Amino acid sequence: MIMDEDFIKNPDVPGPTKEELRCLMICKSNVSDKDIVVDIGCGTGGLTVEFAKKAKYVYAIDINNKAIETTIQNIKKHDVNENVEVLEGDGLDVLDELTNFDLLIIGGSGGKLPLLIKKGYNKLNNNGRIIITAILLETRVEAVSTFKELSVIPDVVDISISKGQISERGTMMFAKNPVAIISAKKEN
Amino acid sequence: MIMDEDFIKNPDVPGPTKEELRCLMICKSNVSDKDIVVDIGCGTGGLTVEFAKKAKYVYAIDINNKAIETTIQNIKKHDVNENVEVLEGDGLDVLDELTNFDLLIIGGSGGKLPLLIKKGYNKLNNNGRIIITAILLETRVEAVSTFKELSVIPDVVDISISKGQISERGTMMFAKNPVAIISAKKEN
Amino acid sequence: MIMDEDFIKNPDVPGPTKEELRCLMICKSNVSDKDIVVDIGCGTGGLTVEFAKKAKYVYAIDINNKAIETTIQNIKKHDVNENVEVLEGDGLDVLDELTNFDLLIIGGSGGKLPLLIKKGYNKLNNNGRIIITAILLETRVEAVSTFKELSVIPDVVDISISKGQISERGTMMFAKNPVAIISAKKEN
Amino acid sequence: MIMDEDFIKNPDVPGPTKEELRCLMICKSNVSDKDIVVDIGCGTGGLTVEFAKKAKYVYAIDINNKAIETTIQNIKKHDVNENVEVLEGDGLDVLDELTNFDLLIIGGSGGKLPLLIKKGYNKLNNNGRIIITAILLETRVEAVSTFKELSVIPDVVDISISKGQISERGTMMFAKNPVAIISAKKEN
Ligand SMILES: Nc1ncnc2c1ncn2[C@@H]1O[C@H](CSCC[C@H](N)C(=O)O)[C@@H](O)[C@H]1O
Ligand SMILES: Nc1ncnc2c1ncn2[C@@H]1O[C@H](CSCC[C@H](N)C(=O)O)[C@@H](O)[C@H]1O
Ligand SMILES: Nc1ncnc2c1ncn2[C@@H]1O[C@H](CSCC[C@H](N)C(=O)O)[C@@H](O)[C@H]1O
Ligand SMILES: Nc1ncnc2c1ncn2[C@@H]1O[C@H](CSCC[C@H](N)C(=O)O)[C@@H](O)[C@H]1O
């Protein structure tokens, strides 16, 4: 895993997704070098870069122009230009242009999560996987209820991590904000 | 409970103990208006003030002169001057001068936790209680092992709290750092 | 605080609310001996008993007959019969019969949380408080969104507690399931 | 990642390490197909199997004969016999016989953690990594203080996970016990 501090940051763009979370998303996604990945809400490119190292190809999408710029910087820095394409736009529109993908990451939705899940899940290749990160309580619930509508029971994991800062006095634990991962596999 | 923002703060003094933790300490301590309380490491006076509202009398001790000043300010602000005495010094020394107390809070120890627990526990009135807050991993373990030496099995609770910040987008959860409360009752 | 094991349990009734949570609810509620409390979804009576010790009067309501029985047992055991009245029925109906209360606890809602919050909040005395426990993700979100409809910004706290079990080998931490407390004050 | 339920269990053996934790250990370890791994305290083989899929070779060690048996069963079930060797014995002794390894996992130590860390760290290849799981408070602290003795500042992460159980009523979160991962890299 790339360390958090090895990503270029941008004060106007959320991210990068913390190391431990990137790690869990790699696992939950079961990504392989045969997979084509779509990362909606690529932010700083934290997940884009990490998945690009494991997958065949990644489409990185963001509606925010500054996120697109930062993602491009991180793609260069981490040397994954060759198998990433960066697309500016609303994920809901960009999805229309994409076909044939195995893994859909939704890291940002701007209030359109149900539509993104439905459209994305439908377009996903068979045995494809969809994986959503949620920092808002509402996102967790929206994801679950949209999957219910699709008759899919997703896996829901809420992760709270604290990291030790070691000094002479001892080991002080600093908490990271909780994040949920909601994921599902498309069975055909 | 007093709200966190209603305490006077000081950049050089840790505290005040967060509302939820003050609350749990009040409960775990079973404090009543018959109790005389000793608060070693009073910091900003967060616990001192809260216990002064429930107990008969509180001795607030800190080795840091700025903590003493801030505690005095909060005592005045929250109108509990009448049943609090503030004592500057190392808790280990000040304990020598105190007799007859029912509740010992250790919120700071500066590496002297085992000695503070032993001396404090011995001087505690019968049916007295001792209650320690730990932010360091080492403090948790030191507290447990010192109680073991005293043939006491303490209650150990680790508390992780996150607080919602509500905006139009939704409810974002912000994590507070984990804190442990280690407490025990002196049975005679 | 009463210890968890000091409540009579019933395999068919959820509860009692864990000690630490009861404690935080007492604090968040700011209950005093002038307060009349309504506890909808009293379950085993865990909160009923605890609030009865601090408040003027508690109405304990549950739709489940076995919960009513268990609550009555715990009221007797903990000697608070004199200021508790137990009412069997759907909280939404029973609320119609109640006037003049300062504190509304909703510990169970059976899918009617928005209606319970709205009716309860409206009937609450001025400066009254409403306090909801949520174990489901959906309950957290429903509570927040209902308060938003009422133009109230609630306090949202998610609590994760783990308890130490001490043996010769060391201190093993056992996690309790996370619970959220959503609370608000009625300002007039 | 292999799902928790896909490992053979044994009532007398702790494990398998939960999916999310296995995942984080894989990440923290930076394991590659060039790495030789030593897994002290292999238990049911949860980590052994997972690392065998990524590494060149794994030595799985346990002092408990039943753990050895269960590990062998899981190695077979998950088809990694070819690059795993199972060794019964105290890790401290078995370490003496091993040379040339890149990754040391300590998942159980039976009170010998400081000695295991010291011996293991010394024998580790350059750029090797050591990674310890801790469920006891004492193990966390012992690991940190042993690394301090070795003038190494380890990475300390405490992980609390809760998993959603989805029903018609909603999504109930069930907490797993917190686990810490303490890891370090050997810089030469
Ligand atoms: N409908 C939508 N389409 C595309 N991007 C969107 C979107 N709604 C929100 N976003 C984007 O989602 C992003 C969420 S932050 C994502 C962080 C990222 N995973 C990282 O590791 O860096 C933001 O950059 C936001 O601009
Ligand atoms: N041996 C000792 N004797 C007295 N005070 C000590 C001490 N070691 C540390 N302290 C004090 O312990 C305090 C810990 S911070 C305590 C915060 C306090 N509970 C609040 O709510 O504000 C610090 O102010 C520190 O100066
Ligand atoms: N609409 C409704 N009206 C009244 N009670 C309800 C209800 N919906 C659910 N309940 C009750 O809410 C309870 C939730 S469990 C509450 C546990 C309780 N706080 C304790 O400490 O013991 C259940 O007993 C359930 O029967
Ligand atoms: N000194 C020692 N040497 C070897 N094994 C040890 C040991 N002390 C404890 N153990 C073993 O450490 C194991 C810890 S449980 C490990 C679980 C394992 N990671 C899994 O995924 O299944 C136990 O099986 C115990 O027998």
pLDDT tens digits for range A33-89: 999 999 999 999 999 999 999 999 999 999 999 999 999 999 999 999 999 999 999
* Ligand 2 contact, B91 CB (< 6 A): yes
pLDDT band at A187 (very low <50, low <70, confident <90, very high): confident
Residue with CA at minimum distance from ligand 2 atom 26: B64
Q: Does B177 touch chain D (CB under 8 A)?
A: no
Q: Tell me the C-alpha distance between B69 and D87, whole Å.
A: 62
Q: What is the mean pLDDT of residues C137-165?
A: 97
Sign of CA dihedral B101, B102, B108, B110: positive
Chains with at least 3 CB pairs less than 8 angstroms from chain A: B, C, D
Averaged pLDDT score across all residues of chain D: 97
3-state helix, strand, coil in chain B (%, to 5): 35, 25, 35
pLDDT band at C107 (very low <50, low <70, confident <90, very high): very high
* Ligand 2 contact, B47 CB (< 6 A): yes
**A103 has which bridge partners?**
A37, A129
Residue of A nearest to B163 (CA): A177
DSSP E strand boundaries for D7-128: 36-40, 57-62, 84-88, 103-106
Centroid of chain to Cα A54: 14
Q: Is the pTM of this model over 0.90?
A: yes
Was A46 annotated as part of a binding site? no
Q: Read out DSSP for C9-68?
A: --TTS--PPPHHHHHHHHHHHT--TT-EEEEES-TTSHHHHHHHTTSSEEEEEES-HHHH
Atom of ligand 3 nearest to the CA of C39: 19
Q: Residues of chain A with pLDDT > 90: what percent?
A: 98
Token duo for residue C3? 């210890």
Q: What is the mean pLDDT of residues B58-68?
A: 98
CA of C40 to the centre of ligand 3 (A): 6
Residue type, B99: T
Atom of ligand 1 nearest to the CA of A61: 4
* Ligand 4 contact, D17 CB (< 6 A): yes
Q: Per-residue pLDDT tens for B32-50?
A: 999 999 999 999 999 999 9
Token duo for residue D177? 């016990």
pLDDT band at B102 (very low <50, low <70, confident <90, very high): very high
Atom of ligand 4 nearest to the CA of D90: 3
Was C17 annotated as part of a binding site? yes
- Residue D112, pLDDT > 80, answer yes
Residue type, B9: K
- Residue C167, pLDDT > 80, answer yes
CA of C43 to the centre of ligand 3 (A): 5
* Ligand 1 contact, A67 CB (< 6 A): yes
Of the listed ligands, the closest to the CA of C18 is 3
Q: Per-residue pLDDT tens for D56-86?
A: 999 999 999 999 999 999 999 999 999 999 9
CA distances (Å), D161 to each of C86, C175, D179, in order? 38, 10, 9
Please report, to the nearest 10 degrees, the dihedral formed by the alpha carbons of residues C73, C77, C79, C80 taken in order.
-40
Q: Does A161 touch chain D (CB under 8 A)?
A: yes
Q: Does B187 touch chain A (CB under 8 A)?
A: no
Closest Cα of chain D to C163: distance in Å?
10
**A60 has which bridge partners?**
A39, A86
Was B164 annotated as part of a binding site? no
At C59 the pLDDT is 98
Q: CA geometry: angle at C100 spanning C97 and C105, to 5°?
A: 80
Closest Cα of chain D to B87: distance in Å?
33
Q: Per-residue pLDDT tens for C82-103?
A: 999 999 999 999 999 999 999 9
Residues 111-130 of D with CB under 8 A from B: none
Q: Tell me the C-alpha distance between B141 and B180, whole Å.
A: 10
Q: Tell me the C-alpha distance between C11 and C128, whole Å.
A: 34
CA distances (Å), B90 to each of B43, B62, B93, B94, in order? 13, 7, 5, 6
Closest Cα of chain A to D143: distance in Å?
11
Q: CA geometry: angle at A65 spanning A63 and A66, to 5°?
A: 120
CA distances (Å), A37 to each of A97, A130, C108, in order? 14, 10, 42
Was A91 annotated as part of a binding site? yes
Token duo for residue D85? 């060797």
Check D23 against A26: CB less than 8 A apart.
yes
Check A166 against D156: CB less than 8 A apart.
yes
Closest Cα of chain A to B133: distance in Å?
13
Q: Per-residue pLDDT tens for C18-27?
A: 999 999 999 9
Q: Per-residue pLDDT tens for B129-157?
A: 999 999 999 999 999 999 999 999 999 99
Asked whether B71 and B105 are in contact (CB, 8 A), the reply is no
At C143 the pLDDT is 98
* Ligand 2 contact, B14 CB (< 6 A): yes
Q: Report the candidate in D79, D87, D121 with the shortest Cα–Cα distance to residue D104.
A: D121
**C87 has which bridge partners?**
C61
Closest Cα of chain B to D29: distance in Å?
23
Residues in chain D: 188
Averaged pLDDT score across all residues of chain C: 97
Check C137 against A138: CB less than 8 A apart.
no
ipTM of the prediction greater than 0.85, yes or no: yes
CA of B170 to the centre of ligand 1 (A): 15
Was A23 annotated as part of a binding site? no
- Residue A78 CB coordination number (10 Å): 19
Of the listed ligands, the closest to the CA of C8 is 3
Q: Does A157 touch chain C (CB under 8 A)?
A: no
Check D171 against C135: CB less than 8 A apart.
no
Residue of B nearest to A176 (CA): B175
* Ligand 4 contact, D10 CB (< 6 A): no
At B145 the pLDDT is 98
Q: Per-residue pLDDT tens for A102-153?
A: 999 999 999 999 999 999 999 999 999 999 999 999 999 999 999 999 999 9
Phi and psi dihedrals of C118, rounded to 5? -65, -50
B188 against D184, higher pLDDT: D184
Q: Does A26 touch chain D (CB under 8 A)?
A: yes
Was A41 annotated as part of a binding site? yes
Residue D175 parent element (H or E): strand D171-175
Q: Tell me the C-alpha distance between A50 and A53, whole Å.
A: 5
pLDDT band at B12 (very low <50, low <70, confident <90, very high): very high
Which member of B136, B170, B177 has the closest CB to residue A137? B170
Q: Tell me the C-alpha distance between B163 and C157, whole Å.
A: 5
At B157 the pLDDT is 97
Q: Report the candidate in A148, A129, A161 with the shortest Cα–Cα distance to residue A19.
A: A161
Classified as helix, coil or strand, A132 is strand
Kindly give, in sequence order, each residue whose CB lies less than 8 Å from that of residue A151, ignoring residues fewer than 6 positions away: none
Residues of A in contact with B162 (CB under 8 A): 160, 175, 177-178
Token duo for residue B5? 């923002």
* Ligand 4 contact, D87 CB (< 6 A): no
Q: Does C166 touch chain D (CB under 8 A)?
A: no
Q: Does D138 touch chain B (CB under 8 A)?
A: yes
Check C171 against D137: CB less than 8 A apart.
yes
Q: Does B160 touch chain A (CB under 8 A)?
A: yes
CA of C44 to the centre of ligand 3 (A): 9
pLDDT band at C187 (very low <50, low <70, confident <90, very high): confident
Residue with CA at minimum distance from ligand 1 atom 18: A43
Token duo for residue A155? 């896996």
Residue with CA at minimum distance from ligand 2 atom 7: B109
At D102 the pLDDT is 98
Mutation pick from D20, D141, D166, D172 vs chain C, by most beta carbons of C within 10 Å, is: D172
Closest Cα of chain B to A176: distance in Å?
6
Check D1 against A159: CB less than 8 A apart.
no
At B187 the pLDDT is 85
